[in-house]
Amino acid sequence: MYAYNQYDQALVDQRVDQYRDQTRRYLAGEIPEDEFRILRLMNGLYIQRLAPMLRVAIPYGLMKSQQLRAMAEISRVYDKGYGHFTTRQNMQFNWPTLESVPDILADLAKVQMHAIQTSGACIRNTTTDPFAGVSADEIEDTRPWCELIRQWSSLHPEFTYLPRKFKIAVSGSASDRAASQVHDVGLHLYRNDAGEVGFEVIVGGGLGRTPVIGKTVKKFLQPQELLSYLEAVLRVYNLNGRRDNKYKARIKILVNAVGVDTFGEMVEAEWEQLKGGDLRLPWSEIDRVKGFFTGPDYLAAEHAEHDLSRAFAEYPQFATWYRQNTRDHKQGGYRIVVVALKNQLQAPGDVSHQQMDGMAALADEFSFGELRSTHDQNLVLADVAQRDLLALWLKLQDIDLARANVGTLTDMINCPGLDFCSLANAETLVLSRQINETFDDIDYQYDIGDIQLKISGCINACGHHHVGHIGVLGVEKGGKQVYQFTLGGSASEDASLGKTLGRSIEQDQVVVVIGQILDVYVELRETDETFLQLVRRVGFAPFKERVYGTHQRSAA
């Protein structure tokens, strides 16, 4: 993976000093509260209900084992011994003190990490497919491009006071595992009819109050002009995005207001001035960055391969885990391993410091010392030889991370909700606990198959409920926490927004309703039909009938 050179290191070191000075001046009363708010947000520091929350950047979800170890240590020294992986592949600490943040940043800088632009109205961490560079269905590795975007967007002087935050996601295979169509900009690397690799540029996607699927603004962008085109998009947005209402300030609102064609013309007009200029990437630079992502020293297939049939026979649970949690690798003899951060005891995406240290050790032992975080709040060991899988699985059990539930109902996305978040309308973590208790029969989960359940505690949609196959949104009605259901959403290549099923549901009925929805699926499905396919085929009527028709379970 990418390793810092002297410039990258100097940048983060200087940024730590700068932020240390800003914190000092704030504590001395020299920076007004509202201004420091913006300064700290640009460094990932929120103030939450109970404590500050620090979001640490994991550029496009890639980390080395020593970086994860450093985060484990930070969670021990400055926090309560755990961290939380977010849907944008970053790490959050829920309990640091404001005063300690400069020291945390200094510790992070020692392992080439930072919290730059993890919040605030600026260009955020670029996210991508967690299987980039290893997946069998990949067209082109997205990581070098993400790194180039990271560098260009880091401390960009012009785009630090945008109308609103700006999120970019890059996908490089037919399956979109980066939710690229619900980002401000989604980039799809693909090969055109002439055989050239370039980007399709999608703009104006996003969730929040006004969920929108992005629209294509450029069909084919030459890769060398990636940064010049992005700069043009950002400049048009910075000058024209709404600033009068923060709920109308995302680029999606601008794109919808003027129409994607007009927006595209505005971008082209600005891009005319930029393309072929300073921002055009020379191939030498592209190749230099690509050189960091050439892949590890894989064993020859015959050494990595292993006949697992005996192990499967001896440990049926290992066979299940293999089927559920590992994926095809482009390299013969290797598997991609998804480690679900979704056990029964912890909140989705949470990891204890022991688990972080444990995962770092397993990465060293079995996956060339690297790990990835995923949009679904899981971890990935991307390069595991088949012959090591059993040993890895056994060791994952020691740290409670061997649950074979990737892609199932309990592999849900969940925002922190009322337990931590000051904007929340309702609790969400109680729901994931209830769901885990109610649907604890793993064979039932396997029978239900591929399903994405996504839960948000308020309309800001951090839990991506609009694009869940089943979405649950916490709302407040008459002082009570109730939940709205949506069905039929997807964040993948077939992206769609879920539609509301009907009246809100009381907290203790949420699992009942999920059960009813799944019953309808089981009763009506055809062979091999997934839940999402069924919803798209049969529509809402049977679900409405089951949930609202004969039962009086909903809150008014």
Partner 1 sequence: MALIKDQQLSLDHATTPELRFADWLSDGQNNADAVLANGDDDLASLLTHANKLSMIALEFDTFADGRGFSMARILRRAGYQGEIRAVGDVAMDRIDFMQRVGFNAFELRDDQEVTEALSKFGEVTVHFQPSADGKGPAYMA
Q: Which positions lie near partner 1, rule CB under 8 A?
A: 5, 7-8, 10-11, 14-15, 17-18, 22, 30-32, 35, 38-39, 121, 151-152, 154-163, 227, 231, 235, 238-239, 243, 273, 277-279, 285, 288
Q: Is 207 in the site for ligand HEM (CB under 6 A)?
A: yes
Considering beta carbons, is residue 170 or 415 the nearer one to ligand SF4?
Answer: 415
Helix, strand or coil, per DSSP, at residue 58: coil
| Binding partner at 137 among partner 1, ligand SF4, ligand HEM, none, C-beta below 5 to 8 Å by kind | none
Q: Is 38 in the site for ligand HEM (CB under 6 A)?
A: no
State the residues that interact with ligand SF4 by CB under 6 A.
415-417, 421, 423-424, 456-458, 460-463
Whether 426 and 457 have beta carbons less than 8 Å apart is answered as: yes
> Residue type at 250?
R
DSSP string, 206-231: B-TTS-B--EEEEEEE-GGGHHHHHH
- Among 275, 188, 171, 183, which Cα is nearest to 231's? 275
CA dist 288 and 90 (Å) reads: 26
Q: Give the x-and-dash track for 322-351 against ligand HEM (CB under 6 A).
A: ---------------------------x--
| Binding partner at 48 among ligand HEM, ligand SF4, partner 1, none, C-beta below 5 to 8 Å by kind | ligand HEM
Q: Is 389 in the site for ligand HEM (CB under 6 A)?
A: no
> Residue type at 234?
L
Whether 109 and 73 have beta carbons less than 8 Å apart is answered as: no
**HSE of 174, CA atoms in CB hemisphere, 13 A:** 2
Bridge partners, 231 (sequence order): none
Residues 49-78 that bind ligand HEM (CB under 6 A): 53
| Binding partner at 273 among partner 1, ligand HEM, ligand SF4, none, C-beta below 5 to 8 Å by kind | partner 1
CA dist 263 and 410 (Å) reads: 40
The sheet carrying 52-56 orders its strands as 45-47, 52-56, 91-93, 82-85, 350-352
Q: Is 40 in the site for ligand HEM (CB under 6 A)?
A: no
Considering beta carbons, is residue 88 or 114 the nearer one to partner 1?
Answer: 114
Q: Which of 40, 88, 218, 248 binds ligand HEM (CB under 6 A)?
A: 88
CB of 7 to partner 1, least distance (A): 4
Sign of the dihedral defined by the CA atoms of residues 130, 134, 136, 142, in that order: positive
| Binding partner at 164 among ligand HEM, partner 1, ligand SF4, none, C-beta below 5 to 8 Å by kind | ligand HEM
CB of 391 to ligand HEM, least distance (A): 31
Residue whose tokens read 């090969």: 191
CA dist 246 and 165 (Å) reads: 10
Whether 478 and 529 have beta carbons less than 8 Å apart is answered as: no
The gap between the terminal CA atoms of the chain, to the nearest Å, is 53
Q: Is 428 in the site for ligand HEM (CB under 6 A)?
A: no
Considering beta carbons, is residue 70 or 116 the nearer one to partner 1?
Answer: 116
The count of chain residues that interact with ligand HEM, using the rule CB under 6 A, is 22
Total Cβ atoms within 10 A of residue 289: 18
Q: Which of 461, 473, 505, 517 binds ligand HEM (CB under 6 A)?
A: 461
Residues near ligand HEM (CB under 6 A) are 46, 48, 53, 86-88, 92, 164-165, 206-208, 250, 349, 415-416, 420-421, 423, 460-462
